[in-house]
Amino acid sequence: MYWADKLLENFDKSNNYRVDDMKTPSGHAHAGSLRAIATHGLIYEALKDAGYNVDFTYVINDMDPMDGLPVYLDKTVYEQHMGKPLNSIPSPDGKAENFAMFYANEYISAFNTLGFKPEIHKSSDLYKQGQIDKYIRMALDEVEVIRNIYKKVAGQTKPEGWYPFQVICPQCGKVGTSLVTDWDGELVTYSCEENLVEWTKGCGHKGRISPFGGTGKLMWKVDWPAHWAAMNISIEGAGKDHFSKGGSRYIAAEVIKDVFKTDPPFGFLHEFLLIGGAKMSSSKGNATSAAEFVKILPPQIGRFLHVRTPYQRAINFDPNISNTIPDLFDEYDRCAKVFFETGTETDQGRYFQAAQINKDKIEPTFLPRFRTVATLVQMPSVNLRDYFSNEKGSSLSALEIELLEERVVYAKLWLERFAADTEKFNLAEETPIQVNVLSESQLGFLGLLADMLSTKDFAEGEELQQAIFELAKSTGIQTKEAFAAIYISLIGKNHGPKAGWLLKDAVAKDKEKYISRLRSII
Ligand SMILES: [Zn+2]
46-72 residue pLDDT tens: 999 999 999 999 999 999 999 999 999
Is the predicted pLDDT of residue 84 greater than 70, yes or no?
yes
For the ranges 59-73, 171-185, 385-399, 494-508, the lowest mean pLDDT is seen at 494-508
Instruction: Find the 204 Cα to ligand 1 centroid distance in Å.
Output: 6
Residues in the chain: 522
- What is the predicted pLDDT for the residue at 280? 43
Indicate whether 145 pLDDT > 80.
yes
CA 216–ligand 1 middle distance (angstroms):
12
| pLDDT value at residue 286 | 40
Among 411, 388, 414, 390, smallest CA distance to 401 is for: 388
176 CA → ligand 1 middle, Å: 9
Residue 268 pLDDT: 95
Give the Å distance between the CA of 256 and the centre of ligand 1: 30
What three-state secondary structure class fits 26? coil
Average of per-residue pLDDT across 371-392:
94
* Residue-wise pLDDT tens digits, 293-352: 999 999 999 999 999 999 999 999 999 889 999 999 999 999 999 999 999 999 999 999
Strands (E), 128-258: 165-167, 178-183, 188-192, 206-209, 216-218, 238-239
Mean pLDDT of 406-413: 97
415 CA distance to ligand 1 middle (Å): 53
User: Rounded to whole angstroms, how far apart are CA atoms 98 and 60?
Assistant: 12
Question: In this model, does residue 201 exceed pLDDT 80?
Answer: yes
Spacing, Cα 200 to ligand 1 middle (Å): 11
Expressed in angstroms and rounded, the spacing between residue 62 Cα and the centre of ligand 1 is 19
Centre of ligand 1 to C-alpha 242, Å, is 30
**pLDDT computed for residue 26 by the predictor:** 96
Tell me the CA–centroid distance for residue 505 and ligand 1, in Å. 70
Complex ipTM over 0.90: yes
Which is nearest to 232 in space by CA: 208, 259, 206, 260?
A: 260
Distance 172 CA to ligand 1 centre (A): 4
Distance from residue 169's CA to the centre of ligand 1 (Å) = 5
The amino acid at residue 330 is D
Say how many Å lie between the CA of residue 193 and the centre of ligand 1. 7
pLDDT value of residue 285: 41
| Predicted confidence (pLDDT) per residue in 259-268, tens digit | 999 999 999 9
Q: How many CB atoms lie within 10 A of CB 145?
A: 14
Among 476, 475, 483, 519, smallest CA distance to 503 is for: 483
Give the model's confidence band at 281: pLDDT under 50 very low, under 70 low, under 90 confident, else very high: very low
Domains in the chain, start-ordered, CATH in brackets?
152-220 (no CATH), 321-423 (1.10.10.770), 433-521 (1.10.10.350)
Instruction: Determine the pLDDT at residue 191.
Output: 98
**174 Cα to the center of ligand 1, angstroms:** 6
Q: Which residues contact 136 (CB under 8 A, 6 or more apart)?
A: 165, 211, 212, 218, 226
Cα(142) to centroid of ligand 1, in Å?
26
CA of 165 from ligand 1 middle (Å) equals: 15
Neighbouring residues of 166: CB distance < 8 A, sequence distance ≥ 6: 175, 176, 178, 179, 180, 190, 216, 217, 218, 219
